[in-house]
Amino acid sequence: MSIARVEGRVQPARSGDPKRVGPYRIIGRLGSGGMGTVHAGLDPAGLRVAVKVVHPAQAEDPEFRARFRREVQLSSRVQGPCLIPLLAADPDAESPWLATAYAPGLTLDRHLAAHGPLTGGTLYAFATGAAQALAAIHAAGVVHRDVKPQNVILTPAGPRVLDFGIAHAADGTSVTRTGVMTGTPGWISPEHYRTGTAGPEGDMFAWGALVAHAATGRLPFGTGAPDVVAYRVMSEEPDLDGLPDELRESLTKALAKNPAERISAEAAAEECARLLAGQTTQLLGTAGPEPTRIGDCLTAEWNLPSMQDPAWSLPTPPIRKRALLTAVLTAIAVAAVSGGIVTFYSSDDRTDVDPTSERVAPSTPSVGISTPVATAATTASGTPAETTSAPAVDPRTIRIPKDPLAGVAGPAYTRAGDEAQPVADEWRASTTAGSPEERDTEKAIRDRMTSMLATKDMDFMKPTVTFNQRAQTVMVTGGPVPQLPENYQEVFRRAGEMAACSALAHRLGNDPTTWPYGRFVIYWKTSDGDLDAAALGYGEATDGCISETAGQWHGDESGMATAEVPSSDKAEIRVADAAVKAVVATWNTNTSETNEDPLDVDDGISLGFDPVENAAYVWTDDPDSRFTSRASQSNLRGAVEDAVCRKLALEFNSNKSWEYTRWALVVHDAYTGTRQFIGAGTCSW
């Protein structure tokens, strides 16, 4: 059951439907299928979400649960235009669930049945958006494998590709059972029919068929029995009659029988974007301004009406409740001002949790942070009271602004949301820091990167920080380093992205109308004279710097890979050893209640640190299959969270340079042959 494959209308809830799922209040149903039910939900801020809850029978199947967990992991990896983002998930709940943003609209097949083929600019926008979505999917190392009309929603804002239920990683780690044919007849590539091969090229074959279907209303390989359709796919040419001539070339390349001859998603998106821009230019007339971004063109040409559903509109809280809430918030604010010790943090906009609010640290905050050193109060009569010094701020608890330009009118940084890829010319045109603000930012990035890299004995990779004000971008460049292991370059990328993102977010938050830099790019040179360095990664400081879903940190494969690099930091080595022993001791203490066999420190449990997101990763390859059941995994998760968080808190309180407050647990999955994340979070103490 697709998370959003519905007609956009909320159906009444049925007997037995949950009132809440995770943080979401359920107000009705959006659809159901063999896999589960999709509920309409609202988050605490009123955001509309679609929540897929797995059927109980499926949840009891360990094989299915493993596939669902993998689906969640893959979906969290994929972000980009014309996709529906994953907001939150709990694959280990009694009834596993995941939530995405709600996407109103008809699927392509329903739209064609009700309104006929897409035409003009809407068709070009559809082709562009669908190709952009697949380009983002493939860039994340994922293959969709089920591109078809039922898996594309035509929302008022543009097309949205959805459903990663049978997606798989490009490295071959599949969500589906090995040997089972997946996909829908007519949307399966020739090579998949012949050999079972399913790669990005197969997605592009389906994209070509999808766009042809959208343009003509006909299935390009006709209808009939599955074996007849399969024969046509493998042996006959598609029916492209009636297709606009401008699109025919791109679709012909996508529908080539030989996968090596097919156009890539990125190239298809570029070609269709040029056609789309031409449509927009014609619409505006030769005297009008040309759109500057693909997203602008897509929005300008997309012509579908908004869908209104009164079921989403809920009554506002009664006046009495609003007044009570206001009174409570006012009391809290007064207490915070008068007491000076009440601090509210949001886990999605800080570097870490503050475990001890009374702690006083002598070190200074990061660049760009203004820290008050004294407060002046007045008495009830209005006369000045005694001025008192505020406690120094522990720099480890300073928040990273998640959206530093929220509510800012006329910011100096104007490229927020710009989807344009970085280009080599921008890097070559960048210059060293000139202003005092640029020099402070350069130092903050270099110092933060050096600190992170030193924990892995990688601080020999010295970053160079340059600025391109025209591109509003900060460039962090590494290399050349002869015979450098590939995983070292990946750690450099992650460290550079985090250091640049946090420094720019702070600067944007403090000086939004004067600070022009909000983008950052990480480059790697292969030689001193390299004029065409490779871009390892890029991003925006206005998108948040910590990889979280719905405000919760989950850990990921990149962090795990960094944690597996041996640490050279003595404190990390000591804490890792103590934490593993504590996990074993906690597990063994609980065996009288869990009926599990005791563990030993030599039973293959390891711990390493990711200095980029301040996380301790615990993993085991489970050589004796100790943790294959849900119960044993739950017991291990509890032991790890308890023991590891205790050790992290102990070190945090005694070591002013210790920044680790997150944890993640990864266990070998015998079914998929890969490691699976079975728990993660931020310690609270």
Q: Are 661 and 355 in contact (CB under 8 A)?
A: yes
CATH number at residue 28: 3.30.200.20
Tell me whether residue 310 is in a domain.
Answer: no
pTM for the predicted model, two decimal places: 0.49
Query: Does 151 share its domain with 259?
Result: yes
* End-of-domain residue from the set 545, 563, 590: 545
Question: Nearest 5°: CA angle at 24, between 21 and 26?
Answer: 75
223-258 pLDDT per residue, tens: 888 888 888 999 999 999 999 999 999 999 999 999
Query: Does 182 share its domain with 283?
Result: yes
What is the pLDDT of the chain when averaged over all its residues?
81
Query: Does 144 share its domain with 209?
Result: yes
Query: Does 375 share its domain with 453?
Result: no
Distance CA 176, CA 169 (A): 11
Query: Does 147 share its domain with 274?
Result: yes
Mean pLDDT of 397-417: 90
Q: Please report where in the chains the tokens 């029916």 appear, as a residue.
A: 239
Mean pLDDT of 27-44: 84
**pLDDT range class, residue 67, cuts 50, 70, 90:** confident
- How high is the pLDDT of residue 68? 82
Q: Residue 419: which of 588, 279, 293 has the closest Cα?
A: 293
190-233 pLDDT per residue, tens: 998 888 778 899 999 999 999 999 999 999 999 888 888 888 99
Q: Residue 122: which of 138, 133, 110, 111 has the closest Cα?
A: 111
- How high is the pLDDT of residue 306? 58
Least confident span in 93-107, 181-195, 514-528: 181-195
DSSP 8-class letter at 8: S
- How high is the pLDDT of residue 312? 64
- How high is the pLDDT of residue 325? 40
Sign of the dihedral through C-alpha 443, 444, 448, 451: positive
Q: What percent of the chain has pLDDT over 90?
A: 48
Mean pLDDT of 278-295: 52
Least confident span in 166-175, 512-521, 638-647: 166-175
Within 570-633, strands assigned E span 605-610, 615-620
Is 474 a residue whose pLDDT tops 50?
A: yes
Q: What percent of the chain has pLDDT over 70?
A: 78
Tell me whether residue 414 is in a domain.
Answer: no
* End-of-domain residue from the set 40, 75, 101: 101
Q: If you average pLDDT over each of 51-60, 105-114, 651-660, which comes out highest? A: 651-660
Least confident span in 82-96, 330-344, 604-618: 330-344
Query: Does 271 share its domain with 213?
Result: yes
CATH number at residue 617: 3.30.300
The distance from CA 117 to its chain's CA centroid, rounded to whole angstroms, is 33
Query: Does 279 share its domain with 384?
Result: no
List 319's β-bridge partners, or say none: none
Query: Does 145 share its domain with 229?
Result: yes
Distance CA 25, CA 21 (A): 7
- How high is the pLDDT of residue 111? 92
CATH number at residue 259: 1.10.510.10
Is 390 a residue whose pLDDT tops 60?
A: no
- How high is the pLDDT of residue 357? 33
Structurally, the chain folds into a number of domains equal to: 5
If one counts every other C-beta atom within 10 angstroms of the C-beta of residue 43, the result is 17
Distance CA 150, CA 155 (A): 13
Tell me whether residue 676 is in a domain.
Answer: yes
146-166 pLDDT per residue, tens: 899 988 999 888 899 986 544
Mean pLDDT of 423-441: 94
Query: Does 521 share its domain with 570?
Result: no
By residue range, what is the domain housing residue 170?
A: 106-301
Q: Please report where in the chains the tokens 């000139």 appear, as a residue.
A: 434
Tell me whether residue 189 is in a domain.
Answer: yes
Q: Are 49 and 42 in contact (CB under 8 A)?
A: yes
Q: Which of the two residues, 476 and 391, has the higher pLDDT score?
A: 476
H helices within 511-569, ranges in order?
Answer: 557-564
Query: Does 297 share its domain with 380?
Result: no
Q: Residue 580: which of 628, 646, 629 has the closest Cα?
A: 646
Calculate Rg over the CA atoms of the chain.
Answer: 27
Tell me whether residue 208 is in a domain.
Answer: yes
Query: Does 136 share its domain with 276?
Result: yes
Q: Which of the two residues, 375 and 622, has the higher pLDDT score?
A: 622
Tell me whether residue 179 is in a domain.
Answer: yes
- How high is the pLDDT of residue 380? 39
- How high is the pLDDT of residue 303? 67
- How high is the pLDDT of residue 328? 40
Distance CA 71, CA 174 (A): 9
- The set of catalytic residues is 146
Distance CA 431, CA 195 (A): 52
What is the phi/psi pair of residue 575, to 5°?
Answer: -65, -40
- How high is the pLDDT of residue 183? 57
Query: Does 148 share its domain with 288?
Result: yes
The distance from CA 566 to its chain's CA centroid, rounded to whole angstroms, is 27
**pLDDT range class, residue 655, cuts 50, 70, 90:** very high
* End-of-domain residue from the set 282, 301, 320: 301
Tell me whether residue 641 is in a domain.
Answer: yes
Is 290 a residue whose pLDDT tops 90?
A: no
Is 323 a residue whose pLDDT tops 80?
A: no
DSSP string, 378-428: B-TTS-B---EEPPPPPGGGPBPPSSTTTT-SS-S---TT--PPP-HHHHH
- Residue 16 in tokens: 């037995």
Q: Residue 50: which of 99, 1, 107 has the closest Cα?
A: 99
Q: Are 644 and 665 in contact (CB under 8 A)?
A: no
Rounded-to-5 percentages of helix, strand, coil across the chain: 40, 15, 45
Tell me whether residue 532 is in a domain.
Answer: yes
- How high is the pLDDT of residue 11? 84
- How high is the pLDDT of residue 281? 56
Distance CA 108, CA 151 (A): 8
- How high is the pLDDT of residue 302? 76
